[in-house]
Amino acid sequence: MLVNAMADKISKGELSSVVCSGCEDMASLTAALGSDEDKDALAANWIDARPEDAPPVRVGPEYIETPMELKHGLQVPVRSYPLFEQAMRAHRGGTVEEHMLETAKMFSGLSEVAAEQPEHAWFPTAHSPEEMVTATATNRWVGYPYTKYMVAAPTVDMAASVILMSVAEARRRGIAEEKMIYLHGCADTIEKEILKRPELHRSPAMHSMGQQLAAAANVDLQSDIKFKDIYSCFPVAVSVLAQEFGLPCEDGRDFTLTGGLPYHGGPGSNCARARSGSRSLHL
C-alpha cells in the first residue's frame, strides 16, 4: 500500500522521488529476550527512536477489527485463516486430510523456490507435501489444520527498499531507459468484516482488485503475467486469490519469485505485509 500511495503522489506531481523501506528484526529481538541480557537495558536499546514531534503517518486503507471479531479472537491470523481454509475445503469437497495434502502440494512448490535461493531465503529447505502435513517435534501444529511448515515465519531479520521516481526525474538523473521498471497498475482493497462475509472461501474485494489491476495495466491476468509473487501467510490466502483471478494453483512455483512467507521469510512490517481484510497489488 505504501508503494501504491507514493506512486499516486508522484503521478500527481507532489513528489519526484521517494524511497520505500521496511524491515523486521524479530529474530534478533527474540534471541535477546531469551538471553541473560538485562531486560531494562534491552528495552532501552529497542525503544522507538522516532522524535516526539514526528508521529507515525498511516498510508492507505486500513482494516479495523469489529468488537465481535475481537470477542472471538478472530483478529489473530492463526485463528481466522484456518476458518477460511475449512470453508475452502467444504466448497471443494473432500476430507480435511485430503484437502490439506492437496494444499501442501501447492506450498511444496514455494519451498522449492526458496531452497534455490539460500543466500536470500531464511528457510531455504524444500519440503515434500507429506512432510508438511505431518506434525512432528520440529513441525508442530500451529492452528489446525496448519502445521509450522505451512504458515508464515515472522521471526526473521530481513529488510528491503525500493526507489520510486517519475520518468522525468529518472531521466534527469541519467538513468538509462532500459534500466527503468514501470509501475503499470496498482490497486488497494478492503474486505468486509469476517463475520459479515457471505462466503468465507471467497473474496469479492480480491476479485475487484484483480479487475482494476488488469484494466489499469491493460493486461490479461490469466495469460499476460509471467512473474508473480503472491502474498502467502497461509495457504488459503493463495488459493482464494488464485480463485478470484482465475489462475490455476496446483503448482506453487508459479506464485512466487522468492519462496513465499513460510520459506523465504515473512517479515511482519515489510513489503510482504498484509492483513486478513486488506490487500495491495502492484504490476
Q: Is 262:152 a contact under the CB 8 Å cutoff?
A: yes
- Please, which residues bridge with residue 275 across strands? 278
pLDDT reported for residue 204:
93
Cα-flanking dihedrals φ and ψ of residue 207, to 5°?
Answer: -60, -45
Cell 523486521 -> residue: 24
- Looking at residue 270, its pLDDT comes to 66
Residue among 234, 202, 218, 256 nearest 79 (CA): 234
One-letter amino acid identity for 271?
Answer: C
What is the distance between the alpha carbons of residues 79 and 214, in angstroms, rounded to a whole number?
Answer: 32
In this prediction, residue 30 carries a pLDDT of 84
pLDDT tens digits for the chain (283 residues)? Answer: 888 889 999 999 999 999 988 888 888 888 888 877 777 777 666 666 666 776 666 676 677 788 999 998 888 889 999 999 999 999 999 999 999 999 999 999 999 999 999 999 999 999 999 999 999 999 999 999 999 999 998 889 888 888 999 999 999 999 999 999 999 988 888 888 898 899 999 999 999 999 999 999 999 999 998 899 998 999 999 999 999 999 998 899 999 999 999 999 987 666 544 444 455 666 6
User: pTM of the prediction?
Assistant: 0.86
pLDDT of residue 214: 93
Cell numbers for 164, please give them.
Answer: 520510486
Domains and CATH numbers, the chain: 2-282 (3.40.47.10)
Cis peptide bond N-terminal to 267, omega within 30: no
Q: pLDDT value at position 281?
A: 62
**What is the CA angle 113-230-138, rounded to 5?**
55
Tell me how far apart the alpha carbons of residues 136 and 131 are, in angstroms, rounded to a whole number.
9
Q: C-alpha cell of 108?
A: 511444496
Residue 228: CB atoms within 10 A of its CB come to 16
Cell numbers given for 134: 505431518
